[in-house]
Structure 1
């Protein structure tokens, strides 16, 4: 507006925290994105962060399958159209089409890294050549594990069922082999580093509708609630001129008491005496039963199959009582657990007490 006052659109932008008042085009930060897409710069960065977190777990599980250290990092988000996907797929690359619930996705490996990983998993040395059916079968297991980790991470984060389907594996030889998306596509590219192998890239194509929904949910969950306040942009009292041309009145923000609604306040008074007592927290990967003769026959190199699938949440136990579930993450050089499902404080105490 010409008098220096904020327009209504600018006021709305300030209140909603929108990116409509962002820096000029070409100065966006974080993930690599295309201009004019359906995701704002902030939403693309939040989406990249969510997939980076999921890939920490995926890299650890992939490393266990490959038998080498695997790191999948640096998620970069872009938005493309179905017409563009065939033009950018690597010739001879491996495509694993896997749905996560109702969300269509496709994981793509370049030819060389795909062949090297498959050969290593098969216990053979890489001598070049073409990718065959045995390679595709081996890579199918790896792709299933990676996408399961992503599905578990995103499903817990956004409270959505994202059960992965079985991979549909193929080699990219012509545009007819490209995944067929009905609408827009969000492309997430990663650096993939496998111990003893040259660095490469891996790409995950996702239905844009689902990606947009996750990004907006992530943004809503992470954004503080807007405080209600009044702004008066009317004429200046006393005839003052210049500036915004009027007084601005802001009502105080009333924060809720930290005491109310806390877990400790809802517990019986006699249990408050125990709140400073330390207890052992156990993370359980899985269980199984074996005969005594099978246990006595265990030795170095023995493999024990557990009752959980790769990528399933682990259990958090206190005194043998289940209190939560979570996903395994890597923190520096240590393993950790990100809690994705937890019961209320009172119920946790009841479980630990044997109730």
Structure 2
């Protein structure tokens, strides 16, 4: 990857950092700063030397003009525990588990940040770029991260971006963006292919025509993070409590082949994996968080919670 490509990626991601800092500052009531400290190429084997061993990985994709770039956002697991402790109102140094609720909250916060960042970049570039999160996971090794990058192309280098971010009084650390090579095209950066050397017999001794060029200077992308006081959101972090989660109640499931599904008829009975009278699963953002009894409340079905899974004390 050419140095000009690295600088272009760095400048664009620095621009994205502006709305990300604003969103986080508004949600957390803290001053947030973020800088891109490096853009390089690496391969799967080189990841173990730079990534945190215990990590939280947000898997996502960027799309533009029919192109798709897979990417991973990698954070230190310890940093994410401190952040979720702060969000949940727990002392930040508490050794809390990254349970389903904590990961779902991080995913929602990350989604809001990415939406704002892509909107900023689309306005600047005049592109119709999209970005979405597919999964968030916590791992106790770097091997799983390496496995995720292997599907991007055996032996092909990919882009690694080092970010330094600070949330006053909560986290001061590094994070990483790993992205497939198509990230450059998705961002609108043309791939510079090496041109073939001319035949020596034809060009030996022939001077190259001078080309008149004009130096172009691009404005430096700078931002000044907004200052937020904790009093703006109160001790109960009301803005964070307004984050919405998809909650559903599942009474059971079954496995069918495609052939079975295509042969469904009206009146056909599906036998589920739950016994009659068993509690239903309460699911938030695809993660099991509790169980409840199904009941009727007026003209609607309801669920009375009887058990919470992985509740943070």
> What's the TM-score once normalised by structure 2's chain length?
0.54
Question: Aligned pair count?
Answer: 199
Which string of whole-angstrom CA distances, capped at 9 and with x for unpartnered residues, describes residues 307-340 of structure 1? xx9xxxxxxxxxxxxxxxxxxxxxxxxxxxxxxx
Matched, 1:138 2:105: yes
Using a 3 Å threshold, how does the CA distance of structure 1 residues 56 and 200 change in structure 2: closer, same or farther?
Answer: same
* Aligned 1:119-198 pairs, distance under 5 A: 119-129=85-95, 130-178=97-145, 179-180=148-149, 181-183=151-153, 184-198=157-171
Matched, 1:209 2:209: no
Task: Please give the secondary structure, in 2, of the residue aligned with 1:166.
Answer: strand
Greater RCO (CA < 8 Å, at least 6 residues apart): 2
> What is the distance in 2 between the residues matched to 1:200 and 1:70?
12
More strand by share: 2
1:79 to partner: Cα distance: 0.9
Task: Please give the secondary structure, in 2, of the residue aligned with 1:192.
Answer: strand
Larger Rg: 1
Report if aligned partners of 1:191, 1:200 keep a CA contact under 8 Å in 2.
yes
Matched, 1:68 2:30: yes
> What is the distance in 2 between the residues matched to 1:152 and 1:100?
12
Which runs of 5 or more residues in structure 2 are unaligned?
193-204, 215-232, 245-313
1:53 to partner: Cα distance: 1.0
Report if aligned partners of 1:71, 1:194 keep a CA contact under 8 Å in 2.
yes
Task: Please give the secondary structure, in 1, of the residue aligned with 2:61.
Answer: coil
Matched, 1:45 2:7: yes
Using a 3 Å threshold, how does the CA distance of structure 1 residues 249 and 122 change in structure 2: closer, same or farther?
Answer: closer
Task: Please give the secondary structure, in 1, of the residue aligned with 2:69.
Answer: coil
Which string of whole-angstrom CA distances, capped at 9 and with x for unpartnered residues, describes residues 73-120 of structure 1? 134101112343355431221101011222211111112221111111
> What is the distance in 1 between the residues matched to 2:213 and 2:101?
67
Large movers: runs of 4+ above 6 Å: 248-253, 300-305
Which string of whole-angstrom CA distances, capped at 9 and with x for unpartnered residues, describes residues 228-248 of structure 1? xxxxxxxxxxxxxxxx999x8
Report if aligned partners of 1:77, 1:189 keep a CA contact under 8 Å in 2.
yes
1:146 to partner: Cα distance: 2.7
1:42 to partner: Cα distance: 1.7
2:261 aligns with: none
Task: Please give the secondary structure, in 2, of the residue aligned with 1:187.
Answer: strand
Report if aligned partners of 2:15, 2:121 keep a CA contact under 8 Å in 1.
no
Using a 3 Å threshold, how does the CA distance of structure 1 residues 167 and 119 change in structure 2: closer, same or farther?
Answer: farther
Output the aligned Cα RMSD.
3.7
1:54 to partner: Cα distance: 0.8
> What's the TM-score once normalised by structure 1's chain length?
0.48
Task: Please give the secondary structure, in 2, of the residue aligned with 1:90.
Answer: coil
1:293 aligns with: none
1:115 aligns with: 81
* Aligned 1:83-102 pairs, distance under 5 A: 83-85=45-47, 88-101=50-63, 102=68
1:79 aligns with: 41
Which string of whole-angstrom CA distances, capped at 9 and with x for unpartnered residues, describes residues 188-213 of structure 1? 11111011135200111122122255
Task: Please give the secondary structure, in 2, of the residue aligned with 1:119.
Answer: helix
Using a 3 Å threshold, how does the CA distance of structure 1 residues 216 and 65 change in structure 2: closer, same or farther?
Answer: same
2:201 aligns with: none
Which runs of 5 or more residues in structure 1 are unaligned?
1-38, 220-243, 254-299, 310-355
1:170 to partner: Cα distance: 0.6
Which string of whole-angstrom CA distances, capped at 9 and with x for unpartnered residues, describes residues 116-171 of structure 1? 11111122212332433232122112221232233223333444333222340111
